Structure 1
Amino acid sequence: MHYALSPRTFFFSHYFYTGLRIATGVVGIALLATLAFGERIGVAVAFGALCNSLMDLPSPLKHKFNEMLTSVLLCSAIALVSSLCAPHPWLLVPLAGLVGFITSMLVVFGRKAMPLQFAALFTMMQTGSNPTGGEHAVATSLLFFAGGFSYMLYSLAVSWWLRERIKQQVLAESLYALAAYLRIKAGFYDARRDLGTQFTRLVRQQTTLAERQQASRDLILRVAPAQRDTLLVRAHYAMLDVYELALAMHPDYALLRKHVSDGDLLMAFGRLAGLLADDLENVAFAMAQNRLPAPPPDRGPELDRIEAQARQATDAGRSTPAADYALRVTIVKLRELLRAVERLHRPGSGASIPEPPAIQDAWAPFLSRQRYEWRILVSEIRLGSPTFRYAIRVAVGISFALALSRVLPYATHGYWIALTVAVILKPNYSMTRRRRNDRVIGTLVGSVLTALILKVVHAPLALLGMLFIATAAAPAFLNIRYLYTAIAASAQVLLLIGLTTPEASHAMLERLLDTGVGVLIAGVFTYVLPSWEYEDIPRQADRVLAANRGYIAAWRKLLLDEDADDFAYRVARKRFMDSIAGLGNALQRMQDEPENKRYALMELDRFVVQNYLVVAHCAAIRLIMHRHPAPPENGLPAAMIERIARGLAGQLGTAQEALRAPEARLRAADASAAREDGTEETSDAARAWTGYRLLQQRARQLASDADVITGVSAAIGSVFRQAGVAVGAARDSRPG
């Protein structure tokens, strides 16, 4: 379950704070404007505030200012044009299509453009549904601007005041995601659980974790941190160190299951990993509450008992050498993970955590790129672009909805049908399907619930309080459970009608009918110029292989001391994890699509897991080199790392060729290079270095996993070529 869906943690999350901030701002501006200038002006000003509140997202203040100012200027212009067109209803049909197309094209700049798209469409529908003259149109747009601009100033002021709290809450969300990741890893020690199912769950959580960590980086590192933010930066780095250690544990699960027959011992490992996940959640909860976490429970004795239990099994002859090796490695890694979690409880004393750099640009490789350039937008105006096809789909769907509403036999609200289409139609089929289901259920539940409330409660003050709650709940749940947002939005509209026009008892039925019509239209237009996930998945797989090769190169330089620090390594690891998250997301979305649009599901799942395993093995080797330093004169470790890196680079390059071309074959030189470390070393250098056997074992496993990647890459390439999809490296223009 998402942490913010638990009452214990929801009220300290940035989701709750966002909902409370939006509701307070919108309702407060509406009340002030109504008290000062009357109800008509108050409603117009409140509408501007409500539309601009859709862009009120956790962002650095500079970015928030740019985003919200763009929203208020664009929506004010749309309000003016649509108000002028309102006396001529049929003009709104092409206008809706034009606004829908332009704002949907903006989605090419990323997910932050999606609230702007809806705000623009919402503005056009609402202002276009109230016919006015020219002078009234100008007045309406000015009042709209006043409300939107006032809300922007309010939001910036509150966000500046709570800037440290927002950073804490976003970082806490990353820690909750990391705790969930570690909890899934704990399940690997339970031999009763299917290993493949656990891998699938882990990869999905990895996708979520990558998104949460990126949000944390963007907020904490985007602007050069002030002195008071140093603890947050150090906590962020400590979190990444915990993640690195958890990642390094991954390759040992199959080994433990194969060689350790003592189920109780394996379950003890799992229980300890689960307790460490609890400790991470405690840190997250304390950070979200703006307090220091309590000292963690001492997990050392628990690990000591596990180690003693393993030693007894060895002494009694119930354990094999392979099992002893697996147990020793796991115990050492768990001990290091335990210490890393302890450091996270006190990041202020973590000397190993780097200080914030003196210049802002030093963080740039870790941050999401914010590029809003016309040439990017223009380059997507082509039929092959998924963004362009999505924009056409939205434009035609909304225009059709408005046109149909003019001829329906009942007293329809055309804007609500069109807005339903805008809400449901998303850049991909999976999101559209989920939104459609949530919208139908949410509208039904919200309408019935609100009808019951209006039947029982008649006091205006009580209804105003419920309207405030609905206004806060709608944005609070938008990104975690849209079903709740749909319920709150329905309640919000009907409560507002109940407060302003109590005699409109038919509003609930009309809303249900309009929603039903909008859902049907959106369902039909989902198949107009669709973009299916399988069309881009081969290129995403190619990016994963390229990112993995980049990670191997940075890993080699770090271990051979060619880099002064681990900065480049961390950047390369982030890029690989982002590529894996992107492919994992696409794979999940493809599973929601029609059966005849799903290709190579098993092969892709194996591909993701094996690439993930390669990086996990490399992280484990980094720990081996740290725990078993060799004398400076012993050149064996460096030579082995060089051979492993060269072999992996060759195998991953071959995998890319196998993905792109059916005639690709393993290059003999690369294959042999990857296996050089499988030979036995009997030199004095090997005997003198305690890490030799451990590194040799990892080298064999790496070569084996890389071989699997090559084979499964060839299978994926073959499947998609048969489906008529060009396989190769290319830019990604898919929205959302």
Structure 2
Amino acid sequence: MKLLQRLEAAHLNGLSVALGVAATHIVVGGLFGETAGLAAVGGAVCASLTDVPNPPQRVLPRVLPAAFAAAVVTALVGVTDGSLALTLAVVAVVSFLSLMTLAWGLRAGPLSFSPVLAMVFAMAWDRTTGATSPWAHALWVGLGGCVYAGWARAAAVVLRHRLRELALAAALRATAVRVRSRAQRIALAVGADEARIRASIADDVMLADALQAARDQVFAARRSPRSRKQTDLVLGLIELRDLLLASRLDTELLGQDFPARQWRAALADTLRHLADVLAALADAVAYGAPLPEVSAEAWRAQLAARLADICAPDGDSRTHLVSALASRLGHMLDDVGAMVARQALRDDIDSPWTPEKLAPFVSPEGWPLAALKPHLTLQSSVMRHALRSALALSLAYWLGAALPWAAHPFWLMLSVAVVLRGNLEQTIARRNNRIIGTVQGCLLVLLLAHVHWVPLLSLCFIAAVGVAHAYVNRRYRVAATAATLMALLQPLMLAPGSDPFIGERLADTVIGAGLAWLFSFVLPSWERAAVPRLATQLRGALARHAANMLRWMPSPEEQLAQRLSRQQAYTALAALAAAAQRTRVEPESVRLPDAQIEGALSHGYRLMALLGAVQHQVQRRNARLDAAKAETALPLARKACVDVLNGEPMTGTDPAEIPDGDAGAWPEHLGQQDLTPWLLRRLRLCRHEAREFVAALDRLPAPRPPSPR
């Protein structure tokens, strides 16, 4: 039981898939015979690709389309068997239509591969059992997919509580990692490469993914005392991320002299302690460990005492800046303390967060046909990838049929399918891991070739199914090793002691990986082409976020709009950051320049941090603000920021504040009751960063006309 408790969500999902495939084989084989059982296994494996950790209500809408597609493709392959021309046509059409499903986004990734895998299984059918008609074969495949769908739905119900706990724990650990990373940067304990904005953004993207996974699991849960606690914890982590982002502001103004290094060390050590508490809270959520002991007041006192012991020159104005930074850190300490206290409460607390309010923050679901329309053009990266894949897989099958070892041409096609991705970065990574994983899998098969006991080989096959599923998006090299076992164990299960075709498998993998890499340059979709679209989306998202955040005492409805626009802005920033990461392996002639892309990202994240800092000050420190001045300044700043982000002439700016010459100075903070000067400074900086951000986007290179080949 303790071993099961230590399994991560991906491991539990892989174990569930392996058991589901085995159960499908047992049920269908027991009712309709071994031939039907083997065919049903193919349908179950194809359907299982879309069975990822999800709330129960999301399982069937994802798994059943994959089962249906597998049955249809199986029938098409069966009726065209024996004709190379017709088979090539089926390969091209199925590949194209499968990859066009990526128009629905990342959630369609598993679905896009399911028909291709079904095509491979159907082509291999006559070489394994071959004792049924194409229509009967398709029927058994469809039945296997449906049986597996029922298993997947039942497993999701059984595992729902555990998956929510693991998603929460993963989000807590990702936040702890981000807090430690921020502490390292404050303490100047990172190298030059790690100090760059791109490395920091990579951490932010990992945290955003973990938070979204937690939202999808927790916000979709039925309302109960347990789910309300979990919802409060997720919402607390989201607020903590905003505070952490705001903690970037002004730290560079501390400098690097001796007092500055001592101040930095004190702030960084407090952040590390906070990260330790988050990690302990993750263990409490995931494994039932005791809750950590937390006292925000004690933390504050320790930090204040340490800062007071630092000797700074008389009249050093940085003491006011240090006081402001310590105050921001105090808000983070309060929030973490509140999270721990909320988990310790046994009484149920009414929450204003109804399922209707939480629904907009959950990842979109469904397959609306309207999503395909924008991609019915050669300018679309989805369309170009679908055409590229159709050409590559068709050529791979034809070449496989023409090679001297033409017994398994679909192996070459499968190698191309799993390696060729929508961008060059992922294709290169898949190419290398596919080759290494195949070699590792072949070595394992050499050992298993001496095993003649079919039940043991079957057990290894089922285990390989689960491992491949668990690691396909985490460590593809492990998944490729397991996939090789799956492919080469099938003939051994049918004929123990036979030739496992290891040499052919290795050759097909190397040739297929090379073909996939070469086809990355056919109808390429370089990141430069996506920049105008990403820039427009990002400017619009930040304009909406600025319009929502720069408000005095927002109502509950306005606070909900703030959270939603914040999520959209983070998503848009992450999309540009991902493009910046992918472009690094592209040919130099089309690569996005590092300096310009990092400049745009830096100003974008800084603007997000400032908007968050303004709203935190309005909501947490309103008693220390001059309401009349704040209510006058906020609409002016809001109008100015929205105008510049929308590409309009800046209006709404207080003439007395042009040209923001003092935007980099900081007001007094230590011992000051009125913090309005800090609010006004942040509003000036918001306008400044909005202008700089738009200018940085304008400096990005324009896309070149797409190459026709």
- Same topology, TM > 0.5: yes
State the SS of the aligned residue for 1:129.
helix
Alignment of 1:173-572 (within 5 A): 173-193=170-190, 197-198=194-195, 199-222=197-220, 225-257=223-255, 261-289=259-287, 291=288, 294-298=291-295, 301=298, 303-313=300-310, 316-318=311-313, 320-348=315-343, 355=351, 357-358=353-354, 360-370=355-365, 372-455=367-450, 460-557=454-551, 559-561=552-554, 566-572=559-565
Unaligned 5+ runs, structure 1: 1-6, 658-665, 681-686, 726-736
Specify the alignment match of 2:686 in structure 1. 702
Specify the alignment match of 1:137 in structure 2. 134
Partners of 2:533 and 2:359 in 1: how far apart?
25
Cα separation, partners in 2 of 1:288 and 1:494, compared to 1, 3 Å: farther
State the SS of the aligned residue for 1:384.
coil
Specify the alignment match of 1:728 in structure 2. none
1:647 touches 1:673 (CA, 8 Å); kept in 2?
Answer: no
Amino acid at match of 1:620: A
Specify the alignment match of 2:667 in structure 1. none
Specify the alignment match of 1:645 in structure 2. 638
How far off its partner does 1:573 sit? 0.9
Specify the alignment match of 1:154 in structure 2. 151
How far off its partner does 1:375 sit? 3.7
Q: TM-score, normalised by structure 1?
A: 0.87
How far off its partner does 1:317 sit? 4.7
Cα separation, partners in 2 of 1:10 and 1:384, compared to 1, 3 Å: farther
How far off its partner does 1:348 sit? 4.8
Amino acid at match of 2:630: P
Q: Does residue 88 in structure 1 map to residue 88 in structure 2?
A: no
1:56 touches 1:64 (CA, 8 Å); kept in 2?
Answer: yes
Q: Does residue 47 in structure 1 map to residue 42 in structure 2?
A: yes
Cα separation, partners in 2 of 1:446 and 1:327, compared to 1, 3 Å: same
Cα separation, partners in 2 of 1:635 and 1:258, compared to 1, 3 Å: farther
How far off its partner does 1:346 sit? 3.7
Q: TM-score, normalised by structure 2?
A: 0.90
How far off its partner does 1:415 sit? 1.1
How far off its partner does 1:458 sit? 5.4
Amino acid at match of 2:607: V
2:636 touches 2:652 (CA, 8 Å); kept in 1?
Answer: no
Comparing 564-573 with 618-627, greater Cα deviation is found at 618-627
Partners of 2:510 and 2:626 in 1: how far apart?
76
Partners of 1:339 and 1:298 in 2: how far apart?
9
How far off its partner does 1:641 sit? 2.4
Comparing 192-201 with 575-584, greater Cα deviation is found at 192-201
State the SS of the aligned residue for 2:589.
helix
688, 694, 711: which one aligns with 2:695? 711
State the SS of the aligned residue for 2:525.
coil
Specify the alignment match of 2:666 in structure 1. none
Partners of 1:341 and 1:319 in 2: how far apart?
35
Cα separation, partners in 2 of 1:410 and 1:275, compared to 1, 3 Å: same
Partners of 1:28 and 1:113 in 2: how far apart?
26
Amino acid at match of 1:156: R
Specify the alignment match of 1:598 in structure 2. 591
Amino acid at match of 2:177: A
1:259 touches 1:322 (CA, 8 Å); kept in 2?
Answer: no
1:225 touches 1:356 (CA, 8 Å); kept in 2?
Answer: no
Amino acid at match of 1:578: T
How far off its partner does 1:490 sit? 1.2
Partners of 1:305 and 1:374 in 2: how far apart?
58
Size of the aligned set, in residue pairs, is 695
Amino acid at match of 1:287: V
Cα separation, partners in 2 of 1:458 and 1:548, compared to 1, 3 Å: same
Cα separation, partners in 2 of 1:646 and 1:504, compared to 1, 3 Å: same
Q: Quick one: percent identity of the two aligned structures?
A: 25
Cα separation, partners in 2 of 1:352 and 1:576, compared to 1, 3 Å: farther
2:78 touches 2:122 (CA, 8 Å); kept in 1?
Answer: yes
State the SS of the aligned residue for 2:461.
helix
Q: Does residue 170 in structure 1 map to residue 167 in structure 2?
A: yes
Cα separation, partners in 2 of 1:422 and 1:564, compared to 1, 3 Å: closer
Could you say what the CA RMSD is over the residues aligned between the two structures, in angstroms? 3.2
611, 617, 626: which one aligns with 1:618? 611
How far off its partner does 1:35 sit? 5.1
How far off its partner does 1:120 sit? 0.7
Comparing 93-102 with 562-571, greater Cα deviation is found at 562-571
1:84 touches 1:133 (CA, 8 Å); kept in 2?
Answer: no
2:625 touches 2:676 (CA, 8 Å); kept in 1?
Answer: no
Specify the alignment match of 2:10 in structure 1. 15
Comparing 563-572 with 253-262, greater Cα deviation is found at 253-262
Partners of 1:155 and 1:128 in 2: how far apart?
26
2:453 touches 2:496 (CA, 8 Å); kept in 1?
Answer: no
1:25 touches 1:154 (CA, 8 Å); kept in 2?
Answer: yes
How far off its partner does 1:116 sit? 1.8
Deviations for 1:480-529, whole angstroms, at most 9, x for unmatched residues?
11111111111233334333323333521111111122112212222221
State the SS of the aligned residue for 1:483.
helix
Cα separation, partners in 2 of 1:352 and 1:177, compared to 1, 3 Å: farther
Partners of 1:448 and 1:702 in 2: how far apart?
59
1:560 touches 1:638 (CA, 8 Å); kept in 2?
Answer: no
Partners of 1:10 and 1:320 in 2: how far apart?
57
Deviations for 1:525-549, whole angstroms, at most 9, x for unmatched residues?
2222111111011321222222111
How far off its partner does 1:169 sit? 1.8
1:402 touches 1:418 (CA, 8 Å); kept in 2?
Answer: yes
Comparing 368-377 with 387-396, greater Cα deviation is found at 368-377
How far off its partner does 1:357 sit? 3.9
2:218 touches 2:231 (CA, 8 Å); kept in 1?
Answer: yes
Alignment of 1:665-676 (within 5 A): 670=653, 672=655, 675=658
Cα separation, partners in 2 of 1:583 and 1:260, compared to 1, 3 Å: farther
State the SS of the aligned residue for 1:12.
coil
Amino acid at match of 1:149: C
Cα separation, partners in 2 of 1:305 and 1:146, compared to 1, 3 Å: same
Cα separation, partners in 2 of 1:449 and 1:603, compared to 1, 3 Å: same
Partners of 1:230 and 1:626 in 2: how far apart?
23
Deviations for 1:330-359, whole angstroms, at most 9, x for unmatched residues?
22222221221122224357899982544x
1:678 touches 1:700 (CA, 8 Å); kept in 2?
Answer: no
How far off its partner does 1:97 sit? 0.6
Unaligned 5+ runs, structure 2: 664-670
Amino acid at match of 2:36: I
Alignment of 1:108-127 (within 5 A): 108-127=103-122
Q: Does residue 56 in structure 1 map to residue 51 in structure 2?
A: yes
Alignment of 1:65-76 (within 5 A): 65-76=60-71
How far off its partner does 1:378 sit? 4.3
